[in-house]
Chain A
Amino acid sequence: MNGLTPFQTLGPFFDFGLVIPNGGIIAEPGAAGRHVSIEGVVRDGVNDTLPDALVEVWQANAAGKYRHPADSRGGDVEAGFYGFGRIVTDENGRFTFKTIVPGRVPGPNGSLQAPHLAIGILARGLLTRLVTRLYFEDEPSNGEDPVLALVPGERRSTLLARRIDGDRYRFDLKLQGDGETVFFDV
């Protein structure tokens, strides 16, 4: 086995290198599914907001299909659905992205997962990527999700996007302290 290349921090001065035009549009208006916008704030252990964080999103389309060769299940992913998003927080630590609610994808042992987005967070002061997931609070299948089931019950709410109104959801990321987001070891 070859030794892995280690992680290092993104540092504070990355956005001229990593910003992508329209990186917060994960699905174009023509993509199938229920269109939603998600907004949130990234905060540290003393509730200060992070003006220099990068939030990356990865998800399946409305049929539960990933745009990736390892997902060999039938069907194509439609044009206009990208599945990937990359958003730099603004000076107030805010991020926003537009997407669709993904379909359910397979989990371990023949299970089905609830609709979710895989999230990676990178920033100055983070020496690796923090990994978490976003679930939708109003999805009835959350109760049978095999990954949510691994999270201590009292902390599961940190993974739920709250419906603000219509198709707007709120999902904050708290890196440390009260209300700390559940992060995963993948």
Chain B
Amino acid sequence: MIYPRPPAGTHPPNNSPGYRSTILRHPKQPLVIVPHTMSELTGPVYPYGRIEANDSDLTRQHAGEPLGERIIVQGRVLDEDGRPIPKTLVEVWQANAAGRYAHRVDAHPAPLDPNFSGAGRTLTDDEGRYRFLTIRPGAYPWRNHDNAWRPAHIHFSLFGTSFLSRLITQMYFEGDPLMPHDPVLHSIPDERARQRLVARFDMNVTQPEWALGYTFDIVLRGSNATPMET
């Protein structure tokens, strides 16, 4: 496996002043380019813990059902050649249907839902597929700028095949009118790259009488392609 440097514009610059919290947290010194050694070409491969059956069903982690619109979020985890990454850990966390996180620091005056924690985890199958049942998270306000609202999103954490394929990202929902106003999403320079974070409503995934379906494929660093001689 080789890990080409990501194309310019794919990842957000750490210095993205539109997202105010980056101002004092981004390094100002240039990053030091280092080769990929055994330390980078290895990495945690499902490093800890057991996965319980309800870990991928966020609607069944409590005595009752959470309020909100039930949704299925599924997709494939692939490398840059389009090959599936099997048995890799996918972790998600999100706000409830009212836009409130079950987190001690979240002060948004929206109700908590005693039947929703908002955290899930699963392993991809042999074809790199994952699937979560959850509820659609609500939008919520934040203090980045005047009248600032985050579009509805689900946080994702993935490991992939090595230390280099680690990814933390957010999945958005097709058609959300808040997306054009969001400095976090728009910190990504390339519009095509931004579009890769938008889950598509998928009638083939939608279950009759039960839940709407969304498809969100994820591409992690890593390729078996032979680099071009230049």
Binding site for B on A (CB under 8 A): 1-18, 20-21, 23, 44-46, 48, 50, 52, 56, 58-60, 66-71, 82-84, 105-108, 113, 116, 118, 120, 122-130, 133, 146-147, 150-151, 155, 175-177, 180-186
Add 17 more A-B contacts to A3-B192, A58-B163, A125-B26 (CB < 8 A).
A4-B193, A7-B168, A8-B170, A13-B103, A17-B155, A17-B157, A84-B44, A106-B38, A113-B37, A116-B39, A118-B163, A127-B22, A128-B11, A130-B27, A146-B35, A175-B26, A186-B3
Cβ-based interface call for B115 (8 A): no
B184: chain A residues within 8 A (beta carbon) = 8-9, 127
Question: In the complex, A152→B212 CA distance in Å?
Answer: 54
Q: Are B39 and A118 in contact (CB under 8 A)?
A: yes
Q: Are B48 and A186 in contact (CB under 8 A)?
A: no
Binding site for A on B (CB under 8 A): 1, 3, 5-7, 10-14, 16, 19, 21-29, 31-45, 47-49, 78-82, 91-93, 95, 101-103, 105-106, 117-120, 155, 157, 161-164, 166-170, 184-185, 187-188, 192-194, 196-197, 218-221, 223, 225
Q: Are A8 and B12 in contact (CB under 8 A)?
A: yes
Q: Are B37 and A147 in contact (CB under 8 A)?
A: yes
Min distance, Cβ A48 to any Cβ of chain B, angstroms: 7
Min distance, Cβ B193 to any Cβ of chain A, angstroms: 5
Question: In the complex, A46→B25 CA distance in Å?
Answer: 9
Looking at A2, A5, A71, A184, the one whose CB has the most chain B CB atoms below 10 A away is A5
Contact status of A5 and B169, CB under 8 A, knowing A16-B103, A125-B22, A128-B14? yes
Q: Are A4 and B155 in contact (CB under 8 A)?
A: no
Min distance, Cβ A171 to any Cβ of chain B, angstroms: 17
Min distance, Cβ A157 to any Cβ of chain B, angstroms: 14
Q: Are B38 and A2 in contact (CB under 8 A)?
A: no
Decide if the interface of chain A is mainly helix, strand, loop or mixed: loop
Q: Are B48 and A82 in contact (CB under 8 A)?
A: yes
Q: Are A4 and B45 in contact (CB under 8 A)?
A: no
Listed A/B pairs (28) with beta-carbon separation below 8 Å: A1-B225, A2-B219, A3-B10, A3-B193, A4-B220, A5-B219, A6-B10, A8-B12, A8-B168, A16-B101, A16-B118, A17-B157, A45-B24, A68-B43, A68-B45, A70-B161, A82-B47, A125-B23, A125-B24, A125-B25, A125-B26, A126-B26, A130-B14, A155-B29, A176-B26, A184-B34, A185-B31, A185-B33
CB closest residue in chain B, given A1: B80
Q: Are A4 and B93 in contact (CB under 8 A)?
A: no
A56: chain B residues within 8 A (beta carbon) = 166
